[in-house]
Structure 1
Amino acid sequence: MIDIRFLGGAREVGRSGILLDTGVEKFLFDYGIEVQDNTHPIQPDIRLDGIFISHAHMDHSGFIPDLYRRGYSGPVFMTPPTADLTSILLRDSLKVQKKRGDELHFMLNDIKKAERHIEFMEPGQRQEFSVSNAEFFHAGHIPGSVLTLLESKGKRILYTGDIKFIDTALMKGAFSEFKDIDVIISESTYSYGNHPDRRGLEDELKKIVQDTVYNNGIAVIPAFAVGRTQEMLIILSKLGFPVFVDGMGIRATEKILKHQKSVRDYKTLKGAFDRATKVKRDRMRKEVIQNPCVIITTAGMLNGGPIVYYLSHLWKRQDCSLTLTGFQVPGTAGRGLMDTGRYDNGEVDLRPQMKMNFLDFSAHTDRDHLLEFYKKVSPEKIILIHGEHTDDFSKDLNGMGFDTVAPGNGEKISV
């Protein structure tokens, strides 16, 4: 039997962590934080044989340094793009935690210690252990993201991490040609519905930008540093308008461009980034907002970063537009703006008069594509995590003939 214990990310989105105990070896799949309130997963015994990280987002990788602070000295496996991106995101996360006055569970030295134990694994590469082996497969979520297939004691367990099956402007869709899978541990972020057509979203974004700039306004696009910033650059690359990139998206794009195979169209991304003007100080921001243009900036959920400057200076301008391009977590300034029309990040409180738009450029797969994947792979068991509707989705899947469970944090399932 293999015991699977859910340390975090069960019946919730955030602080993912899954412990697999084969009886001979112990492995950890992801180890992240809840970004909004800095809560962390259950802390496992540090006697582990390996850690596998699906991608760089902090809800999947943000608590790795705590393991090394507590004495773990083994390997942490991830793709090279994930390693580069995790490095900058962990440092930014620590800076944000200090600024908010959060309880600090690790320091910069612990981040550096974790980085010294990183072992690169590329998709298609297999890592052998005494009775187990693990392999990565392209996940389509963000650059460097992977699914992890663990084989041990005659069982094949597939952990999806975060997945996207359709092609986007930035990423090729996830690999899905799996056979003889016993268990899928599956994200279910959007198990309750489907996404709008991607091409239609791209066209709508272009129209918003064109209408804004043609009317002498500024099109402001808050975007996540990893994944969304790069996708926005590609989509808007051929419109011919001045494009400015601000915030951590600059460094993230520089890191991603080191890994040509991590994106679908490296040439277009590099060209778009090379043509864009990088904004790096307030004096330059003052100059940027003097003329019609497009500004792609962090933070994607409006809690901090350069977006605060732009909203503070443009909020009264009805000729400008603000387009949210990603999910706004409850409790964030972005969600508050969507729900009430008021922007309040704890430092700035105002009601923007800009034209407001929300476009669902999700990097997660939706309900129909999850169902298609499960039918195609036909696993013996599906374990649903990383979602707020796992119980309902589990009931639906069981009604379709799948053997499905939706565990809670701290629960253990034996397979």
Structure 2
Amino acid sequence: MALLTFHGATRQVTGSCYLLEANDQRVLLECGMTQGFRRDEESNRNRFPFDPKSLHAVVVSHAHLDHSGLLPKLVAEGYSGPIYVTPPSAELLDLMLKDSAGLQERDAEWENRWRTRSGKPLIKPLYTQRDTELALELLQPLEYRQPTMVAKGIEVCFHEAGHILGSAIVAVTIHEAHNLTRKLVFSGDLGNQCSPLLQPPATLDEADLVLMESTYGDRDHRNQEETLAELQQILDQAWREGGNVLIPSFAVGRTQDLLYYLGKFYQNGTLKQQAVFLDSPMAIAATDIYSRYLPASEQERKLAGDGQRRGRLYNWLPILKCTPSPEESMALNRIKSGAIIIAGSGMCTGGRIVHHFKHNIWREECHLVIPGFQAKGTLGRRLVDGEKQIRVIHQNLAVKAQIHTLGGFSAHAGQSQLINWLKHFKHCPELYLVHGELEKSQILADTIHQQLGWPASIPEQGEQIAF
């Protein structure tokens, strides 16, 4: 018998964390940050509800911080075993966790300046660059479809999830006495099957227990053709009205898809903007990693020429300009029209996008394109919900820009895609819906029951099940 405890991403989208216990072994699936409301993010400072020293292995589905962002903290609190990821995820984690550590250190420094003046006790960063370096040393890359024993009697196999580069569906086989086996399948984040740069999610047909994400469990996304047509219309309108286009985008995945599609518009002669700025050091570095792993199409090879794989997207989209330094980023403030600015963070919770808000969002001719999910409590969610006054960088700003939400660019599967993935299992598994706001998970559970006749449970934080 195996035990599974839900320690995160229950009835909410972020904070993925599940503890598997079998054969006197403890394996942690995911170690993610909670993101959203400030009170929720404060929970990242809590001690883990298990002893990190007692873990035998950690398995992470992909590099997004809501699945991986507390790995350095786990190591700082005593974990020293292997962390299993795919090879592309290992490279992306090196980039993303170091960036996150820098942010934790800077946030603590700023907070302590205020605390020093007010006489309050100082705080420590959630984790440091040193903690991150120690965590990165523990990474053990595993290729897709390569079954590996990660602990006594516990075998893990990664399968393509199609969400971001290196993302994986995690299949766990528990080998028990008398040749008995139990199989757990964790979907990770399933892709939307429309990314031009990734393979679609793999399908599996056997499982005793399935943990499936439900971020968009309440609806389907618009199809790709309609989404691209709407983006083209927005860009044309912004050009006519003389404003800039701001796109807050996740540095890994969403940004690379957007650059591909903007390049497609450019190649078709329909992109009127004079320049596309990639204003995110992390996104620039992530794009280089993508270029190393993704096979180039015949058209891209012709455009790039021999020996120029790093420059593929730059050749595909020649008006793309990268602005890695703060000085280059600030220089964009002088551009009042004709530019597309892609910057982080994806949910507008910080990063360079908020500086561009300061110079653009109060202008009626500015267009703000939201290309993905915005968690409750984030500035991006408030803008999508129609908030007309925001406060960023210690300034109150009127929101007069035109806000556009393009759900078709989501890197997550929609409701029908989730159910179609589930249909491939030969027999009804014990099914738990995670990674979704409660009302969306409930809609998905009801729809699964209507269409498949299968029951689906929505676990609570700390709930433990035996299987």
TM-score between both structures, scaled by the size of structure 1: 0.91
Say if 2:284 and 2:324, in contact at 8 Å, map to a contact too.
no
Give the Cα–Cα distance (whole angstroms) in 2 for the partners of residues 262 and 61 of structure 1. Answer: 29
Q: Counterpart in 1 of 2:313?
A: 272
How far does residue 234 in structure 1 lie from its aligned partner after superposition?
0.5
Q: Counterpart in 2 of 1:260?
A: 294
Say if 2:161 and 2:187, in contact at 8 Å, map to a contact too.
yes
Q: Do structure 1's residue 317 and structure 2's residue 347 form an aligned pair?
A: no
Give the Cα–Cα distance (whole angstroms) in 1 for the partners of residues 233 and 56 of structure 2. Answer: 51
How far does residue 310 in structure 1 lie from its aligned partner after superposition?
1.9
- The amino acid that maps onto 2:377 is G
Q: Deviations over 1:95-139 (max 9, x none)?
A: 333444475342221111111111101111121243221100000
Aligned match of 1:191 in 199, 202, 217? 217
Aligned match of 1:169 in 168, 192, 196? 196
Aligned match of 2:141 in 89, 101, 120? 120
Give the Cα–Cα distance (whole angstroms) in 1 for the partners of residues 312 and 159 of structure 2. Answer: 28
Distance 1:38 1:53, change over 3 A: farther
Secondary structure of the structure 1 residue equivalent to 2:292: coil
How far does residue 183 in structure 1 lie from its aligned partner after superposition?
1.4
Is the deviation greater in 334-343 or in 179-188? 334-343
How far does residue 221 in structure 1 lie from its aligned partner after superposition?
1.4
Return 5+ residue gaps in structure 1 as ranges.
none
Indicate the structure with greater helix content.
2
Give the Cα–Cα distance (whole angstroms) in 2 for the partners of residues 123 and 212 of structure 1. Answer: 43
Secondary structure of the structure 2 residue equivalent to 1:11: coil
Q: Deviations over 1:282-338 (max 9, x none)?
A: 543455415512211112222222222222222343333211111222222222223
Return 5+ residue gaps in structure 2 as ranges.
112-122, 176-180, 267-272, 304-309
Say if 1:336 and 1:344, in contact at 8 Å, map to a contact too.
no
- The amino acid that maps onto 2:392 is N
Distance 1:314 1:398, change over 3 A: closer
Q: Do structure 1's residue 354 and structure 2's residue 361 form an aligned pair?
A: no
Q: Do structure 1's residue 205 and structure 2's residue 231 form an aligned pair?
A: yes
How far does residue 59 in structure 1 lie from its aligned partner after superposition?
0.8
Q: Counterpart in 2 of 1:366?
A: 414
How far does residue 16 in structure 1 lie from its aligned partner after superposition?
0.7
Q: Counterpart in 2 of 1:82?
A: 89
Aligned match of 1:383 in 429, 432, 450? 432
- The amino acid that maps onto 1:145 is S
Q: Do structure 1's residue 409 and structure 2's residue 461 form an aligned pair?
A: yes
- The amino acid that maps onto 1:368 is S
Equivalent positions of 1:24-103 (< 5 A) are 24-36=24-36, 37-40=41-44, 42-45=48-51, 46-100=53-107, 101=111
Secondary structure of the structure 1 residue equivalent to 2:445: helix
Distance 1:147 1:174, change over 3 A: same
Give the Cα–Cα distance (whole angstroms) in 2 for the partners of residues 330 and 137 of structure 1. Answer: 30
Give the Cα–Cα distance (whole angstroms) in 2 for the partners of residues 262 and 39 of structure 1. Answer: 42
Give the Cα–Cα distance (whole angstroms) in 2 for the partners of residues 404 and 300 of structure 1. Answer: 31
- The amino acid that maps onto 1:188 is S
Q: Counterpart in 1 of 2:120?
A: none
Q: Counterpart in 2 of 1:179?
A: 205
Say if 2:433 and 2:459, in contact at 8 Å, map to a contact too.
yes
Give the Cα–Cα distance (whole angstroms) in 2 for the partners of residues 394 and 316 of structure 1. Answer: 41
Tell me the matched-pair count.
Answer: 414
Give the Cα–Cα distance (whole angstroms) in 2 for the partners of residues 264 and 182 of structure 1. Answer: 43
Say if 1:165 and 1:175, in contact at 8 Å, map to a contact too.
no
Say if 1:17 and 1:60, in contact at 8 Å, map to a contact too.
yes
Give the Cα–Cα distance (whole angstroms) in 2 for the partners of residues 137 and 34 of structure 1. Answer: 25
TM-score between both structures, scaled by the size of structure 2: 0.82
- RMSD of equivalent CA atoms: 2.6
Q: Deviations over 1:328-377 (max 9, x none)?
A: 22222222223312232352321133332111121111211222222221
Q: Counterpart in 1 of 2:118?
A: none
Give the Cα–Cα distance (whole angstroms) in 1 for the partners of residues 423 and 357 of structure 2. Answer: 46
Is the deviation greater in 388-397 or in 296-305? 388-397
Query: Greater CA radius of gyration, 1 or 2?
Result: 2
Q: Deviations over 1:360-411 (max 9, x none)?
A: 1211112112222222214421111111133454355446421432211111
Q: Counterpart in 2 of 1:345?
A: 392
Q: Counterpart in 1 of 2:279?
A: 246
Say if 1:333 and 1:345, in contact at 8 Å, map to a contact too.
no
Distance 1:316 1:167, change over 3 A: closer
Is the deviation greater in 205-214 or in 119-128? 205-214
